[in-house]
Structure 1
Amino acid sequence: MSRFREELWQVVGGVYEQIAAHPFLAGLTDGSLPRESFRHYVVQEAHFLPDYARAQAAVAARAPDPAAVQTFARDAAMTVEVEHGLVVELLAAFGLEEADARKVPAGPATAGYSSYLVRTCSLGTFGEALGALVPCYWFYARIGEALLRSSSPDPLYAWWIETYGAQAYQETAAEALDLLDELPLGADDRGRLLEKALTTARFEWMFWDAAWRREGWPCG
């Protein structure tokens, strides 16, 4: 019997391929990414990651068993400690404090993605919430693993790649996928989960593209 993750990949894999081919990631690998695009990405991550941790905590609160509660509560804490900690250090490399980054508004893609995640994980079923979270886990693990093979000549970009290519992050993503495979779902529940996953996969592409273009609000 095939695992549910394989059905999910049939839905979101095409979006991942578009992300993997995006010039932002190509530039991370060969070092040609403009520093201002990476700076934009890091600043937007400073807005996004606290909400991502809130979404993980909301999933923990809705989890059906103690093991899943523990998994997502731990992941929420690790998002703040490791990923957000990395962002704070990267901001410092640009001569910025986190307070400076927060003076820059969250862009359209960041605000939309954060709001969708927090709403879905707070108000949806556990399956819907898990579907909304899984693309970020899975995509970052695959991107980190792929980019780690060649790393980057730019030490700042190599530092980022090593975080998501590291075995610890790969194991974190694998645990989320294992929970997905074990989730008992009817046909309607599976459909709603896949719908949420496709939406957040698209937001993932938008987030990378927004950094590449250094997206801002078109008015105001």
Structure 2
Amino acid sequence: MAAPYGNSFALWRQGAGKHWQDYTRHSFVQGLSDGTLPRTAFLYYLIQDYIFLRHFSRAWALAIVKSETLDEMKTAASTVDALINHEMQLHVSACAKEGISEQALFDADEHPANLAYTRYVMDAGVSGDFLDLMAALAPCVFGYAEIGARLSDEKADDTAYGDWIATYASAEYQDVCKAIGQMLDGAVARRLGETPETSLRWAHLQTRFTTATRLEVNFWQMGLDYV
């Protein structure tokens, strides 16, 4: 399942071991699939994810600064556009149906698990280079694509979360992730060579990816703990 999103992600995914399974098969995710996730947990997650996406957008904007090629800049810029003008608006629309305004989303308190994750990603970009930032961003980008694709096949017909699943299973989102994966492979090869896993930097980048994956697990758990 990892192959469509590129070799670099596939290697990082494998290197994360059980943490990747803890993330992509979390009980929160299972609740989305079978419809058993409490609505209050989902709404709290949406509010926190709106906050997360604001910071995620900033991190992708930083990727433009850290880029070395026009292709890297274009991919980062188009991702910022997709996040701010499309994905965040899906959260706004879903919350509006529950009587939660966009201003209320913007003003919501940030949960410590959210703060820990977003600031970790930003620190990776500020203190490191383009690859440090990509390794920290990758679990969210590709993890949601993997989850969406799997749940699209497994979900219960009557799950209340079909729209969420369809968003990340959509051809549009999957194509974005494939493009990012292709860009990432080029960026890794350009900086570390054709066998990057033999580079002295690879273990450090793997740690970046695995740490961000563990923080994704905490993000799901944050939603469940709100119930």
Asked whether the two chains share a fold, i.e. TM above 0.5, the reply is: yes
- Aligned pair 1:76/2:80, yes or no? yes
The answer to whether residue 175 in structure 2 is matched with residue 133 in structure 1 is no
CA distance in 1: counterparts of 2:183 and 2:10, whole angstroms: 13
Instruction: For CA contacts below 8 A with separation 6 or more, give which structure has more relative contact order.
Output: 2
Percentage of identical aligned residues: 27
Shift of 1:127: 1.0
- Kept in 2: contact 1:130–1:193 (CA 8 A): no
Distance of aligned partners of 1:67 and 1:43 in 2 relative to their CA distance in 1, 3 Å threshold:
same
Distance in 2 separating the partners of 1:147 and 1:16: 16
1:197 aligns with 2:201: no
Q: What pairs up with 1:137-152 in 2 under 5 angstroms?
A: 137-152=141-156
> RMSD in angstroms over aligned alpha carbons?
1.8
- Residue 48 of structure 2 corresponds to residue 36 of structure 1: no
Q: Aligned ranges for residues 164-183 of structure 1 at < 5 Å?
A: 164-182=168-186, 183=188
Which residue is 2:224 aligned to?
Answer: 212
Matched, 1:17 2:21: yes
> Structure 2 CA distance, aligned partners of 1:46 and 1:4?
28
Structure 2: gaps spanning 5 or more residues:
1-5
Question: What amino acid is aligned across from residue 214 of structure 1 in structure 2?
Answer: Y
Q: What SS does the aligned partner of 1:149 have?
A: helix
TM-superposed CA distance for 1:13, in Å, is 4.4
Count of residue pairs the alignment pairs up: 213
Give 5+ residue unaligned stretches, structure 1. 216-220
* TM-score, normalised via structure 1 length: 0.90
Q: TM-score, structure 2 length as denominator? A: 0.87
User: CA separation in 2, counterparts of 1:103 and 1:26?
Assistant: 29
For residues 172-191 of structure 1, what are the alpha-carbon distances to aligned partners after superposition, in whole Å with 9 as ceiling and x for unaligned? 11122222322131623222
Distance, in Å, in 2 between the alignment partners of 1:214 and 1:33 is: 12
1:154 corresponds to 2:159: yes
1:23, 1:132 → 2: CA distance? 23
Q: Contact 2:60–2:77 at 8 Å: present in 1 too?
A: yes
Counterpart residue number, 2:128: 124
Give the letter aligned to residue 96 of structure 1.
Answer: I
* 4+ runs deviating over 4 angstroms: none
